[in-house]
Structure 1
């Protein structure tokens, strides 16, 4: 049986199984009877002084029948020092019903000391005494039990005794508060870390209770036992329990106010709410998970998991000058962190997340899995299936995100598992990646050996042990190397990347030229009219004809698609949302979908399919971690950039061939010869300048951007040691190519777009120009036609000259300030400008 201790208000929670009131009264009365008879046999009278001490009787209560059988045979139970005191304390009526005790003004000081000593032994167990009572303002039903019970001493006590008593009284407050905290935080909802912490504190209280038993024995047997000796024995304990008390106070008051919900109202509506959720097709667990994903339930998270460990560690650091505090908090940190360390070990060793109370720093989004995501499941699976609860990433993102709980109003810590213990703050990304790597391996059906480099002492790891961090580093290295070998050797990652480079980047290859030649009829059609089936057939024919040997590897994974918007419109939308590689990466595809929707809503896509033709590349898990939808998007942007350049080059080349025919080469034998010759030369010159511009851009992009960057990537891949380094190097390669191809700068892209559209539009006027030349040769061209011919020519020249100058100025500016790789392009474009002048 336990002493009277204020209980927590648990509302509708299930109460512990106890004895009935009749059985309880019978047992406590019997124990009191046994103690009374034992004291009588020792000739100790409760109202007489023995050896300078007075034992006031607490054993006779009105209406009690003492003629019941006793437990005299159970000597080990009866002689336990605290049993009679605890049982009598529990059997005492409510303190408010007690008669007021007589004043101690005229009682000798030695008798006062004996009386107060006996009262103190009760108070130290959380039981009200005769002359040490509960504070008048204390109400068991209204006050927070975790705050502890406050006591006041009888005013008539001698002042010399009062000073010592008031030093000892806080122990009673500490004990009741700590006991209430243990009872409250042992509930399942508070998680494994709180359970381990309560168990550790309960073990420390056992030492305190043992000390009280020894003091009780000394009080009953030693005439020399005094208040000074009591203070001497319990003085160290006051400091120890004070440290535990202040820790429990901080843990108990760190919850947000909104977390203190009424248990009664919650319990009455649980059944109705669950039934309603089931009727709507969402179970309770699923609803909670959805709310957690959207950050709607952050205010009700109790102090648990990593937050408990963070509070203990911070208190230990703030009291680093106190050896007792360091030892105490260090012990509690080790014991409370045992389940946390166990969950971390399971995660970094097997890739399994076992966190039933959401205490760990790693969070799993259970609704993201490989089965339900049809398109682009790998990006979702890798990026969002397992994340850190605090929302941080390796790129150092800051600010609040959806699904991340708000910090506590007091202290600023993230609640629950989102609060990462300070000792693990620098390791959180390695912990996350180690488990994610192993999880990928498990998804591939490969068995993971749990016993890798595991010793017999691994279970004794704590967060303050250097061996634990050596273990984390070894687990991270093992997971990295295992997945890296799986990707590079078993899944043939390097040949896959080489095939991507061949299909998407080789703009000067015969493959791309042949594809454009075969599909020119389809590419002249609008995007809605072009046949994807026919274009796919032509692509396969081209690959089977022109691609041989190593170049033919994985060609079945290449597919033809039609983008939903023009290349440059899409790029401008992406740049306006933050740009490729920014923290708004998720907005890039949203911009693409928005552009596509806008065009679908307004009018059919009237642009030619040559502007929207793109290639796609399909890979399976786990290669899709590297060749993900995010990287395929970048490959497609570069391919469409090169394809458009190649298409404009072919169109200008076709215009040149057409202008080698007779109407363009024959001399005019009349007075209009000089004017026609001048116009014809102007057309030839503008066409040559445009063709030179397109060829210089194409050559620069291929031989001075893509090829050097690819060779640099190959060098890095040969030395890669970690998976995250592999992912980072591949993405950096693509981002560098996009930047040096001028696809990430709004000013460069705008000027280049105007310039290349002018060239493409000029190539489309090849037939009207030929018709005008034929009319001039046949002397049938009217003066109005001559004027229109010159207007078109002057408009094209003016547009090209203007935007060429703007583009050249932008390139020179960026080459000198931000992007030094554009210097070769400045030289190339300057040569075109000098020739034209």
Structure 2
């Protein structure tokens, strides 16, 4: 393997090792200097004690080994510590060539991190207190000749670099630091092997060659200084990227983080409960559970640091080549994990290094119960919290940036090379994961088609990601649109939930009229479902008949406008209990007691059963929107039927009989007809606007988009946007429009409930007019009617004003409704 050492300035050196020719060039003799090393005598005694290990006495070669004189034996003191002090005292009186020989021997040990006789540890060095990742500092004896000391001081920083890099490799090779760190340490270890090979060659030259000098050592070691300096700079930045006192998260802290993610994702607990639980976790751990300082530097963060070093040092060709080599080596496991994810949909990330994370507590079962699309939106997410639409708000499970560097920690830090492709990486795996969940085998033909290994800075790797995303997206789209018949399903939903004028809904309301008048406490869902099935069997044909068994009757837990007002009102549920409002759980008991007094028609809704993977598109979130629109149209239809029934009854004799001598009664009767007519016109205009100018045009737009859709996420967004647009244009998302509208509908419903009372009053008025005393109760009749007129006129005027303002400022789609309502106002 070629070592990673830059060339010298003259370009004559390409390797760290010495060739045979270079050995032969070293001539001369240092034999006399070596003979003067009298401290290496064979039977050395110090204070009457031998410091040779008894078990090694027979091994003459080991006893004479230079390293043995530096190794501390159990229960003994190293010889070097004594001899060094003795020699330092007389170093000045030693000839210069002998000093050079002695210091050369010391350097060969010091460059391996072993303390020498004349090159000692820095006085401030403490093995127990000093950070091993900072390396060991050495100082040369002050008695060394200045001409030699200057050259030695240039060389000994290598020892600091070497010991720091060795300590980094030893520490970061632990399993908890992840596979990227393991790969980086393996690459660093290979480079240190080349360095050790160089030292062994230099030591061999020192022991065998006759003219090996300090200048020769510097000549051959000089290129390595720059290489190890660059490596030292890298490991120092990696070591200092996290807090110096950081320890890996314990199993308890990891569990707490996962619990916090699960509670946040599933919406469990109120704001105060979450805050209290979070504080308890912080107190127990002594740190913030989402603090970046508690996450080891691993995965994407390691690759980011190496890449940034390469970019920063791009002006130095040797540094750029070195860091690029380390980036490719460290990125191999990251690339392998990414390849597995984007080609099979399997997330194999045991040390949480990848930019994609999985919430394992969210599974397909949540599709049957959640109203926020947990499975699709939060089963697999980016660790940095960003979404296709933009960065997400601060939330549980997303660590804070490190204050020192401003980078996200660990796997949440996405390598800059992958930043533009991170959403495609996420979506490619998500698409394939959905296909896997359907039991369909996925063939990684993209992976097999590539020749050679993909590397982090390889252009082929990014082309591979693009192709994998395109393949996964096309495969899932075909599964949804063709195999799972998504479009016919949506048409079936539209016909069942939107067409209030359809014969299906009218037929169902006629059949279940008596049942719908009952209170909810007396409701029979089974009977309503039977009537619905009968209606669907009669009125549904073709493709619609295939899905009629998926439509189910359900009863809502709250009234439509009450629930909508809570959702859209900022001071309601969204604000929580901080503003004095009751949360849904707190008011559940109160709502349940009132619910029993509702008519079934106020709680009636349709549900729609759909299986995975169509449940990703027709999810609980979208079905809830369908239900809101359906209940809105159903309520309008119900009020229209009530007013129509009133009109039919008021075609009787008492309402048509002419009474010329009772002008007051004639005017009262005419005003009743006029008010009923205006109410009916209002409801019909609202229904006409909603169906003909909101739902149908938006549905046609959706159908057009479905024919051109290119990505699954675009399909999901188009479907949700369609429903949100319908809700907005039907005035169901604005509290200013909802309040007057709900008051108007309540007034119309209440007025229709007094149908028989008005008929009875008309009969009594006719009878009283023919008597000799006349009609004495006419004033009460006018007062009763006047309350309805005043109430309707007031809320109609308020509603019209709000609609006109909204149409002119924020919702131009309401302009046709303004025209419709203005015609009703002209009748008053």
TM-score band w.r.t. shorter chain: 0.7 to 0.9
- Matching residue within 128, 132, 140 for 1:141: 128
**Matched residue SS, 2:451:** helix
Contact 1:361 1:419 in 2 (8 A): yes
**Matched residue SS, 1:614:** strand
- Matching residue within 666, 686, 697 for 2:686: 697
Contact 1:599 1:605 in 2 (8 A): no
User: How many angstroms apart in 2 are the aligned matches of 1:728 and 1:372?
Assistant: 20
Tell me the residue number matched to 2:725. Answer: 736
User: How many angstroms apart in 2 are the aligned matches of 1:789 and 1:174?
Assistant: 102
Tell me the residue number matched to 2:12. Answer: none
**Matched residue SS, 2:553:** strand
* Structure 1 position 290 matched with structure 2 position 259: yes
User: How many angstroms apart in 2 are the aligned matches of 1:674 and 1:488?
Assistant: 67
Tell me the residue number matched to 2:9. Answer: none
Cα distance, 1:833 vs. partner?
Answer: 1.6
Contact 2:183 2:332 in 1 (8 A): yes
Tell me the residue number matched to 1:472. Answer: 465
1:729/1:148 CA distance change after superposition, 3 Å? same
User: How many angstroms apart in 1 are the aligned matches of 2:635 and 2:583?
Assistant: 19
- Matching residue within 304, 307, 319 for 1:310: 304
Cα distance, 1:168 vs. partner?
Answer: 1.4
- Matching residue within 747, 761, 766 for 1:758: 747
Cα distance, 1:759 vs. partner?
Answer: 1.5
- Matching residue within 214, 223, 226 for 2:201: 214
Tell me the residue number matched to 2:614. Answer: 623
Matches within 5 A, 1:385-396: 385-396=379-390
Tell me the residue number matched to 1:681. Answer: 670
1:691/1:359 CA distance change after superposition, 3 Å? same
Contact 1:200 1:335 in 2 (8 A): yes
**Matched residue SS, 1:423:** coil
Tell me the residue number matched to 1:415. Answer: 409
- Between the two proteins, the alignment pairs up a number of residues equal to 755
Cα distance, 1:802 vs. partner?
Answer: 1.5
1:227/1:577 CA distance change after superposition, 3 Å? farther
Which deviations, in whole Å up to 9, do the C-alpha atoms of 1:90-139 show, x marking residues without a partner? Answer: 35754656551333333333332222222111111101111110011111
Tell me the residue number matched to 2:88. Answer: 102
Tell me the residue number matched to 1:497. Answer: 490
**Matched residue SS, 2:606:** strand
Tell me the residue number matched to 1:17. Answer: none
1:592/1:515 CA distance change after superposition, 3 Å? farther
Which deviations, in whole Å up to 9, do the C-alpha atoms of 1:308-352 show, x marking residues without a partner? Answer: 112212222222222222111111111111001101111111111
* Structure 1 position 572 matched with structure 2 position 565: yes
User: How many angstroms apart in 2 are the aligned matches of 1:707 and 1:366?
Assistant: 40
Matches within 5 A, 1:524-563: 524-563=517-556
User: How many angstroms apart in 2 are the aligned matches of 1:660 and 1:474?
Assistant: 71
* Structure 1 position 834 matched with structure 2 position 826: yes
1:342/1:809 CA distance change after superposition, 3 Å? same
Cα distance, 1:593 vs. partner?
Answer: 4.9
1:402/1:66 CA distance change after superposition, 3 Å? closer
1:804/1:257 CA distance change after superposition, 3 Å? farther
Cα distance, 1:455 vs. partner?
Answer: 3.2
Cα distance, 1:200 vs. partner?
Answer: 0.3
User: How many angstroms apart in 2 are the aligned matches of 1:221 and 1:578?
Assistant: 88
Contact 1:256 1:409 in 2 (8 A): no
Which deviations, in whole Å up to 9, do the C-alpha atoms of 1:450-479 show, x marking residues without a partner? Answer: 233533535x21221111111011111111
User: How many angstroms apart in 2 are the aligned matches of 1:519 and 1:332?
Assistant: 74
Matches within 5 A, 1:635-674: 635-668=626-659, 670=661, 673-674=662-663
Matches within 5 A, 1:369-448: 369-370=363-364, 375-376=369-370, 379-448=373-442
Contact 1:614 1:639 in 2 (8 A): yes
- Of 763-772 and 84-93, more deviation after overlay is shown by 84-93
* Structure 1 position 786 matched with structure 2 position 752: no
Can you give the 5+ residue segments of structure 2 that lack an aligned partner in the other structure? Answer: 1-28, 264-277, 282-288
Contact 2:304 2:413 in 1 (8 A): yes
Tell me the residue number matched to 2:765. Answer: 776
- Of 349-358 and 108-117, more deviation after overlay is shown by 108-117
**Matched residue SS, 1:606:** coil
* Structure 1 position 328 matched with structure 2 position 322: yes
- Matching residue within 216, 230, 235 for 2:222: 235
Tell me the residue number matched to 2:286. Answer: none
- Of 415-424 and 252-261, more deviation after overlay is shown by 252-261
User: How many angstroms apart in 1 are the aligned matches of 2:683 and 2:261?
Assistant: 53
- Matching residue within 65, 86, 89 for 2:70: 89
**Matched residue SS, 2:393:** coil
User: How many angstroms apart in 2 are the aligned matches of 1:711 and 1:394?
Assistant: 26
1:680/1:787 CA distance change after superposition, 3 Å? same
User: How many angstroms apart in 2 are the aligned matches of 1:479 and 1:148?
Assistant: 49
Cα distance, 1:59 vs. partner?
Answer: 6.6
Tell me the residue number matched to 2:796. Answer: 804
**Matched residue SS, 2:826:** helix
Tell me the residue number matched to 1:487. Answer: 480
Contact 1:59 1:88 in 2 (8 A): no
User: How many angstroms apart in 2 are the aligned matches of 1:429 and 1:664?
Assistant: 69
**Matched residue SS, 2:784:** helix
Matches within 5 A, 1:168-207: 168-207=155-194
